[in-house]
Amino acid sequence: METETKNTVPMWLAVAITVVISLPFGLWLKEWSVPLWAAFIVWAEYFVLGGKPAGLKIMVPSYILGVIGAVLVLILMVEMQKLLPDPQLVSATDVAIGIAFFIGFCVLIYAMKFMPVTGGAGTLPFFNGISMGLATFFVGIYAAYGGMKVDDLLVPIVTGIPAILAGLLGGFLGWFNVTILFPRPVTKAVSGHQPAHV
């Protein structure tokens, strides 16, 4: 006899329910709405890390550290744009942005070896946090997140907030999706007969 897990609710239905559960966070909260695209990416991460709550212990801190790292690099970028406002290759301040990103990401990625949760299974959520931190800055719609009117160095911090909230929502969606499958153990008989070799 072998035991395997079978879902009570089919995956297609659980995913549809989970998507509908997520919609209010992106549609109803007005200026505090969470970027659902970022939450859905983190939701997928939950499955990549095994689809079990234990994965959240790696995923959540790694992701948040990634967002914080992106925010710090963006702060460096804002400062570099002030120091080098004129040089450009194609568009305004592109030289300053390139220098800031080169220095910032060299330091950030090197620092991964000193962060206990960003290696191994934590690498994907860490890089995902970086990409979501950059994305919520560069899409431009989160610069006044929650109605906060800020400028200069605070813009990267403000745009990092929805990235972190989306990560937390995504972790919840992953957990919720698996939970509503209502997996149950099923015993399966194992045949003792071996197939004949021809």
Phi–psi pair at 105, nearest 5 degrees: -75, -30
Read off the pLDDT of residues 31-55 as tens digits, 9 standing for 90 and up: 999 999 999 999 999 999 999 999 9
Q: How many other β-carbons are positioned within 10 Å of the β-carbon of residue 70? A: 26
Read off the pLDDT of residues 104-113 as tens digits, 9 standing for 90 and up: 999 999 999 9
Tell me which amino acid residue 100 is.
A
Is 70 exceeded by the pLDDT of residue 190? no
Return d(Cα 171, Cα 13) in angstroms, integer: 19
Tell me which amino acid residue 153 is.
L
Return d(Cα 127, Cα 67) in angstroms, integer: 9
Structure confidence at residue 185 as a pLDDT band (50, 70, 90): confident
Return d(Cα 174, Cα 14) in angstroms, integer: 11
Structure confidence at residue 158 as a pLDDT band (50, 70, 90): very high
Return d(Cα 111, Cα 64) in angstroms, integer: 15
Place of tokens 């897990």: 5
Read off the pLDDT of residues 58-116 as tens digits, 9 standing for 90 and up: 999 999 999 999 999 999 999 999 999 999 899 999 999 999 999 999 999 999 999 98
| Distances in whole angstroms, Cα of residue 191 to Cα of each of 1, 76, 94, 196, 197 | 9, 64, 67, 14, 16
Return d(Cα 66, Cα 115) in angstroms, integer: 11
Is 80 exceeded by the pLDDT of residue 198? no
Return d(Cα 15, Cα 90) in angstroms, integer: 44
